[in-house]
């Protein structure tokens, strides 16, 4: 292992060199500014891969995991330190048991607004726009589906949660590191940007007028999703080119928003999934 | 409120009458035998409704929630005590903050095996069979989708998690209380029961031979799903009448199993969702 990559042995959980890894859950709450935390081998692989839009700052790996990860860790750029610690030191620094023994700190790419992001997409594009989706699991799940079905980008209004929040990255299985996204503004501003970029907007709602399978995807299609419970604001529903519903049993609670995104992306890509 | 239903005021978190509510998380680990915990108003409504297959034993409600829940609590059968406590007493008994202030203890209906359950289904039926799905969120998510798309029942092998585990009920939004299920045996035994009952078995897998949208639902169709990662055992894939895949971008991790169930149920019910 050490042939391939210098590593910095850490013996003290209070070592200032691993300060960014300390009290991970507490910092989830206060936020990390430009930094984010990546957990687990699959996510680290995406963070170090060619599709990642962000930069790795350092990695902290349990010593016992180093042999199995040797090849992967060679992809860590020379300026990013590789810290190695015993599982016990790692757990003590982080504040809970990291049972996969793999953590990294990333630094986010410069943020883009929705208009700038949409202007970079190809003439045929499929995007997902989230309004008021503040649950980390749901945002992570939407990103996972977006990557699986080869959609091009995700837009999020300011009230939706940060896709680089630790749990959102984990639930996305790293998809939020490789999928272009823009977050900010209101739902109406996202709609303005989508209209200006020539997207056919399809608002998903149990109250949608058209059955999802009757929606014909346009060259540029945007799927709009709101939070469970409130759903999409009425004004956005009214502005959307189409409103689509997934037929369900009357009286039962609606689908989870991540599941809805999976079903809608499946329906929109039934002509075949394009590699991005 | 008290006009409609006698309530038992609880002032001490250690009151033995609410012993079943004590240390909820710790008991999640050791199990509750025939009992289960239902959380939140939506789940309580299903637990007290006509579709519930199980029995309510008691409810513990934060005093502040009583006025809003008065109508619902009238449906609590007379033999089931209604305990009322301050939020502080409730939280102290339970061991964490119950921010919705609504808990109930249920007692599960007598278990059925897969063959007995399938024999009670109508001639046209859609079921979901889970093999090795041990994650509570995923099992809860599958039940939520099953109820939303009007599928008739869920079968689970012994290694899949209990649908009446607290978190599974919560994630299912109560669907696991109203959906007939049988849990036990091996995947091969579930397959035996499905074959004997005349079900067309469709195994979902990224390695499936047929594209999901090309599968024609039979009068009796069973969707087989395995755990993320290992997927369905090879022997079950070989025995299934069809193997179906959801087309995805190559190289990215597969879909979450709950999302897969949602997409597959959507595809199987495209001719229209039947009320159960």
How many angstroms away from the CA of A249 is the closest CA of chain B? 5
Which residues 127-186 of A have a C-beta within 8 angstroms of B?
137, 141, 144-145, 147-150, 173-175
Q: How many residues does chain B have?
A: 276
What domains are defined for chain A? 8-107 (3.30.1330.30), 114-268 (3.40.1280.10)
Predicted local confidence at residue A4, as pLDDT: 59
Q: Which of A114, A139, A117, A123 is nearest to A226 (CA)?
A: A139
* B214 has a chain A CB within 8 A of its CB: no
The pLDDT tens digits of the residues spanning B35-80 come to 999 999 999 999 999 999 999 999 999 999 999 999 999 999 999 9
Q: Which of B245, B44, B43 is nearest to B144 (CA)?
A: B43
- Higher pLDDT: A251 or B168? It is B168
* B120 has a chain A CB within 8 A of its CB: no
Contacts of A253 in chain B (CB under 8 A): 42, 144, 148, 173-174
- Residues with Cβ within 8 Å of residue A123, at least 6 apart in sequence: A219, A220
Query: Phi first, then psi: what are they for A12, rounded to 5°?
Result: -130, 120
pLDDT (average), residues B14-28: 92
Comparing alpha-carbon positions, the chain A residue that sits nearest to B46 is A252
* B34's tokens: 């025939």
Strand order in the sheet with B102-107: B8-10, B82-85, B55-62, B102-107, B35-39
Predicted local confidence at residue B271, as pLDDT: 59
Contacts of B175 in chain A (CB under 8 A): 252
Radius of gyration of chain A (CA): 20
How high is the ipTM of this complex?
Answer: 0.92
B262 closest CB neighbour out of A213, A252, A263: A263
Asked if A175's CB is within 8 angstroms of B249's CB, the reply is no
- Looking at residue A32, the DSSP 8-state letter turns out to be -
Least confident of A75-89, B23-37, B93-107: B23-37
Cβ burial, residue A34 (10 Å; 0-12/13-18/19+): middle
The pLDDT tens digits of the residues spanning A145-161 come to 999 999 999 999 999 99
Give the Cβ contact number of residue B48 at 10 Å: 21
Q: Classify the phi-psi angles of A101: left when phi > 0, otherwise alpha if psi is within -120 to 50, otherwise beta.
A: left
DSSP-derived secondary structure for A180-205: -EEE-S-HHHHHHHHHHTTPEEEEE-
């Amino acid at each position: 292992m050490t042939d391939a990559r210098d590593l910095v042995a850490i013996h003290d959980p209070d070592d200032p060199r691993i300060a960014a890894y300390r009290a991970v859950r507490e910092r989830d709450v206060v936020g990390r500014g430009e930094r984010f935390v990546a957990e687990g081998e699959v996510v680290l692989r995406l963070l170090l891969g060619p599709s990642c839009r962000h930069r790795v700052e350092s990695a902290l790996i349990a010593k016992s995991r180093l042999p199995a990860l040797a090849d992967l860790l060679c992809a860590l750029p020379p300026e990013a330190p590789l810290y190695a610690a015993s599982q016990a030191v790692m757990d003590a620094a982080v504040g809970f048991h990291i049972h996969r023994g793999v953590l990294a700190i990333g630094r986010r790419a410069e943020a883009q607004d929705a208009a700038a992001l949409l202007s970079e997409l190809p003439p045929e594009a499929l995007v997902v726009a989230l309004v008021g989706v503040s649950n980390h699991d749901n945002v992570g799940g939407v990103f996972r589906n977006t990557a699986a079905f080869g959609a091009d980008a995700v837009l999020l209004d300011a009230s939706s949660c940060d896709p680089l929040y630790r749990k959102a990255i984990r639930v996305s299985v790293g998809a939020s590191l490789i999928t272009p996204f823009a977050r900010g503004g209101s739902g109406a501003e996202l709609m303005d940007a989508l209209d200006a970029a020539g997207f056919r907007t399809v608002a998903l709602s149990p109250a949608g007028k058209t059955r999802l399978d009757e929606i014909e995807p346009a060259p540029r299609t945007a799927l709009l999703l709101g939070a469970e419970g409130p759903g999409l604001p009425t004004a956005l529903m009214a502005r959307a080119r189409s409103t689509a519903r997934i037929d369900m049993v009357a009286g039962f609670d609606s689908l989870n928003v991540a599941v809805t995104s999976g079903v809608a992306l499946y329906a929109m890509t039934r002509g075949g999934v394009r590699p991005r």
